[in-house]
Amino acid sequence: MLVENLHAGGAPAQKKVFVLDTSAVISGFVPGLTTVKQVTVQEVLNEARDLCSKLELETAVLAGMVEVVEPSNKALAEVRGKVGLTGDTVSRTDIKLLALALDLKLAGEQPELVTDDYAIQNLATLFNISYRRIAMPGIKEVLRWERVCPACGRKYPPSSSRCEACGSKLVRRPKR
């Protein structure tokens, strides 16, 4: 069902690249079932590994179906600069995924972020990068986010933005 959704656009798949975020990985996106090139960043692998012990993604990476790519410093700087202006709380992983998509776009490819995460979807819009929801039933139950203070480590619900104890800007991470 997922793969049908992904091909529903009917666009030529040659230059399209799926950029997978953690929600895509956790939702059971099956990299082996699409011919579209797929990439992600190391941080997604790390987050996903923390959430699930059995990962199809790791197998796919080992089989060469998903490429783990480090974004360029130039793209990282561009994303960080623009994110700073929005005031959104964005994780290091999100920034790297966006930067990777930006690199691909500049290289003449058609990156498409595969994500159920609103923060990343908002960022993608900001950078004119298309995204695709996974919309798999159950994803909300599997992947829950929380915000944590980078300074003192206190945890907050996803709606909080500042630490009540020390005033630091909270960062988002998958709930354990």
Residue ranges that bind Zn ion, judged by CB under 5 A: 149, 151-152, 163, 165-166, 168
Q: 133 and 108 in contact (C-beta within 8 Å)?
A: no
* Nearest to Zn ion of 140, 169 (CB atom): 169
Query: Phi, psi (5° rounding) for residue 158?
Result: -60, -20
Question: Cα separation of 137 and 132, whole Å?
Answer: 15
* Nearest to Zn ion of 107, 151 (CB atom): 151
CB of 150 to Zn ion, least distance (A): 8
3-state secondary structure of 7: helix
CB of 162 to Zn ion, least distance (A): 9
Q: 99 and 107 in contact (C-beta within 8 Å)?
A: no
Using CA of residue 96, residue 98, residue 103, residue 109, what is the dihedral sign? positive
* Nearest to Zn ion of 30, 166 (CB atom): 166
* Nearest to Zn ion of 33, 152 (CB atom): 152
CB of 154 to Zn ion, least distance (A): 5
CB of 85 to Zn ion, least distance (A): 24
